[in-house]
């Protein structure tokens, strides 16, 4: 199923988020406006969709939901801008990154600006619980990214550490998106917790698939080069499984043991790791892990009222393990 | 007068801010804890002091003021961390910067974490006006810093542009500090506006003196190398005055026209610019500008209730134009 079809019920509200984001680009500082226009295009709008859908079980109040949905999308964008600056990435969503066009320094400041803008939209909800959650989520994301830098090029990492890291850097924002929708629709506490659990497990599954696509996708599908994680020294689940299955003569081990190897040799190792993922059981095993998390996500929905939106959230979980980009 | 003596009336509450900040360093992630401990030491605590003092005119409620005072100090620290990363600065407050010890990438993520933490403390006030102001201030600061990168190494800049830039990057946080104290103490709107004006004008004066000290101070006093602004291509008021007074054979012009000159030549130009500031009327003129802004700041206080704290705020304005670091 296509995302567009899944989103049908919140299509109009997602268009309003786009409208809000367009107002963000209208600033009286032409250089900043140019940066904002460049970065605030595209995106799958998964997170704002989750905020809207999570609010459909109880009192759907667009005046509160629209700023929050805009906030989670802006926060997502700001983390991408900083990530790309930190990783020196040159392409994202098929377009040059801010850091590659305007330099890392401006990317840092643009990301700061977007964080602040996201915070302002969160504040527009007037809901203190949501506002606190917003700030806490940003702490969790940045400390997760920080963990990733300290773990870079380390071969000895537990599976637990990997899940802890992706829960911080990805699932926390999914969870903010669903929780905030629940809170702003005055859902009972039990439902808030269920939607929080749904968002967290969905986010973990999403990131596991993301980490797999970094091996099995194409640059055209991903909008960025394949093998980026290995190039950054980030040990993801597919790489962990490769290390377990091929303890000897392993390109991941060789790469991580020699992070300063020449570029051509490095590319060779990455290519070989990609081939090994393709010809082994790693892909299947990763999908199994992602599916298990999606099952957990789906089970969280069982306690929620039996409304059509429940089916939509199930479809999103299905989409996450079938997506190609 | 020494800052310590000026702060006497809020000394105990500033110690509580230190206590709050200490709790920030107590995280269950040793690498992050180390970064936090490194950066969250020192500082003059001007901004939290302004929050406390601005609240002394009306209902002083420490439960609300303590999180806000902590918030402004954390926001200040986070902007320093990002500034140093962007400028590749190696020393701050007489100690190695985070970027010089742990790399620019981690400095970016640490700054993000601190922004988020500052936001969480602001949210603890439970005051939506203050929370929105917090987010707006961060937007103003980051867009001011962004302006600075676009203005770098440009010789043709209006005085107006300079004041606009320092109002964004420095005075806005002074203004947040004073305004939030006023708002949280339930000051009437007129008093909030007066304290906002005081903070803004004080912040401009503070930055003018800061920009001058970059020429006239010593590394020992400043805790960082002199001439940093020129090295970054940042045209500050003293450099503007030098350009006006010495249109021919001007080291600032030579430096900005050839930003890629060899390091030794660059240092020579900076040294000459420093000498010229010392032997010209530039220092006196800068102090005159700063004094004028401090006068404006003082005049803003006239509409406020005649309480002892008014004298303290006047003393802070006096301190700003007499300080050596």
- Residue B93 pLDDT > 90, yes or no? no
pLDDT category at B290 given cuts 50, 70, 90 is very high
Q: Quick count: other Cβ atoms within 10 Å of Cβ B40?
A: 18
pLDDT category at B196 given cuts 50, 70, 90 is very high
Distance CA B152, CA B260 (A): 13
What would the two tokens of residue B24 be? Answer: 């920030």
Residues of B in contact with A82 (CB under 8 A): 108-109, 112
Q: How far is the CA of A57 from the CAs of A9, A122, A198, B157, in angstroms? A: 13, 21, 14, 56
b/e burial code for range B131-156 (CB count within 10 A of at least 16 → b): bbbbbbbbbbbbbbbbbbbebeeeee
Nearest to A128 among B115, B126, B138 (CB): B126
Distance CA A41, CA A95 (A): 10
User: Cα A119–A8–A81 angle (5° rounding)?
Assistant: 35
- Residue B54 pLDDT > 80, yes or no? yes
User: Cα B5–B186–A116 angle (5° rounding)?
Assistant: 85
pLDDT at position B207 is 97
DSSP A274: H
Model confidence over A128-164: pLDDT tens digits? 999 999 999 999 999 999 999 999 999 999 999 999 9
Q: Best interface-test mutation with A: which of B115, B126, B144 has the largest number of A CBs within 10 A?
A: B115
Distance CA A196, CA A185 (A): 14
Distance CA B240, CA B21 (A): 39
Model confidence over A174-211: pLDDT tens digits? 999 999 999 999 999 999 999 999 999 999 999 999 99
Distance CA B24, CA B113 (A): 11
- Residue B264 pLDDT > 70, yes or no? yes
Q: Do B146 and A31 touch (CB under 8 A)?
A: yes
A71: left (phi over 0), alpha (psi -120 to 50) or beta: alpha
CA distance B12 to chain A (A): 27
Please name which of B78, B72, B135 lies closest in space to residue A113, comparing C-alpha atoms: B135
pLDDT category at A2 given cuts 50, 70, 90 is confident
Average pLDDT, rounded, for chain B: 94
Task: Tell me the helix, strand and coil percentages in chain A, rounded to 5.
Answer: 75, 0, 20
Name the phi and psi angles at B247, rounded to 5: -65, -30
Size of interface A-B (CB pairs under 8 A): 135
Q: What is the DSSP string of A74-128?
A: HHHHHHHHHHHHHHT--EETTEE-HHHHH-HHHHHHHHHHHHHHHHHHHHHT--H
Chain centre to alpha carbon of residue B230 = 18
Give the 3-state DSSP-derived string for B160-211, with helices as H, strands as E and coil as C: HHHHHHHHHHHHHHHHHHHHHHHHHCCCCHHHHHHHHHHHHHHHHHHHHHHH
- Residue A41 pLDDT > 90, yes or no? no
Residues 6+ apart with CB under 8 A from A273: A215, A227, A230, A239, A242, A251, A252, A255
pLDDT at position A94 is 86
Model confidence over B140-192: pLDDT tens digits? 999 999 999 999 999 999 999 999 999 999 999 999 999 999 999 999 999 99
Nearest to A119 among B106, B135, B143 (CB): B135
- Residue A14 pLDDT > 90, yes or no? yes
What would the two tokens of residue B236 be? Answer: 């500050």
User: At CB < 8 Å, which residues of chain B contact A?
Assistant: 27, 29, 31-32, 35, 82, 85-86, 103-106, 108-113, 115-117, 119-120, 122-124, 126, 128, 131-132, 134-139, 141-143, 145-147, 149-150
pLDDT category at B1 given cuts 50, 70, 90 is low
Mean predicted confidence (pLDDT) in A45-49: 95
Residues 6+ apart with CB under 8 A from A264: none
Mean predicted confidence (pLDDT) in A5-25: 94
How much of chain A exceeds pLDDT 70, in percent?
99
Please name which of A85, A89, A204, A225 lies closest in space to residue A144, comparing C-alpha atoms: A204
Nearest to A139 among B116, B135, B141 (CB): B116
Angle between helices B30-39 and B62-87 (to 10 degrees): 90
Asked if A203 contacts A174 with a C-beta cutoff of 8 angstroms, the reply is yes
Domains of chain A: 3-320 (1.10.600.10)
Distance CA A97, CA A108 (A): 12
Q: Best interface-test mutation with B: which of A146, A149, A172 has the largest number of B CBs within 10 A?
A: A146
pLDDT at position B109 is 97
Q: Do B142 and A110 touch (CB under 8 A)?
A: yes
Name the phi and psi angles at A279, rounded to 5: -105, 10
Q: Best interface-test mutation with B: which of A116, A180, A259 has the largest number of B CBs within 10 A?
A: A116
Residue A92 β-bridge partners: A95
pLDDT at position A26 is 95
Asked if B86 contacts B111 with a C-beta cutoff of 8 angstroms, the reply is no
pLDDT at position B36 is 96
DSSP A170: I
Model's pTM, two decimal places? 0.95
pLDDT at position A325 is 65
- Residue A1 pLDDT > 70, yes or no? no
Nearest residue on chain B to A112, alpha-carbon basis = B142
What would the two tokens of residue B26 be? Answer: 């107590």
pLDDT category at B52 given cuts 50, 70, 90 is very high
């Amino acid at each position: 199923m296509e995302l567009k079809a899944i989103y049908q019920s919140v299509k109009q509200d997602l268009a309003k988020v786009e409208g809000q984001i367009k107002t963000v680009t209208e600033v009286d500082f032409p250089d900043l406006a140019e940066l904002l226009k460049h970065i605030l295009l595209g995106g799958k709008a998964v997170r704002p969709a989750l905020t809207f859908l999570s609010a459909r079980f109880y009192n759907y109040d667009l005046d509160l939901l629209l700023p929050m949905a805009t906030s989670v999308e802006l926060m997502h964008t700001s983390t991408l801008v900083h990530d790309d600056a930190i990783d020196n990435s040159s392409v994202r969503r098929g377009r040059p990154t801010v850091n590659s066009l305007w330099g890392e320094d401006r990317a840092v400041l643009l990301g700061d600006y977007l964080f602040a803008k996201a915070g302002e939209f969160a504040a527009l909800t007037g809901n203190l619980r949501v506002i606190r959650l917003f700030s806490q989520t940003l702490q969790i994301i940045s400390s997760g990214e920080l963990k990733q830098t300290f773990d870079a090029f380390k071969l000895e990492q537990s599976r637990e550490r990997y899940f802890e890291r992706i829960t911080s850097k990805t699932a926390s924002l999914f969870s903010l998106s669903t929780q905030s929708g629940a809170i702003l629709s005055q859902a009972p506490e039990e439902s808030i917790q269920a939607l929080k659990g749904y968002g967290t497990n969905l986010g973990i599954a999403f990131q596991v698939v993301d980490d797999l696509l970094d091996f099995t996708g194409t640059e055209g599908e991903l909008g960025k080069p394949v093998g980026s994680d290995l190039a950054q020294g980030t040990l993801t689940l597919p790489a962990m499984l490769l290390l377990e299955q091929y303890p000897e003569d392993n390109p991941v081990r060789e790469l991580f043991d020699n992070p300063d190897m020449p570029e051509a040799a490095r590319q060779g190792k990455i290519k070989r790791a990609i081939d090994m993922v393709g010809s082994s059981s790693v892909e299947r095993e990763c999908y199994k892990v992602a599916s298990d998390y999606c099952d957990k996500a789906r089970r969280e929905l069982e306690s929620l009222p039996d409304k059509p939106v429940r089916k939509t959230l199930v479809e999103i979980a299905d989409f996450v393990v079938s997506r190609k980009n």
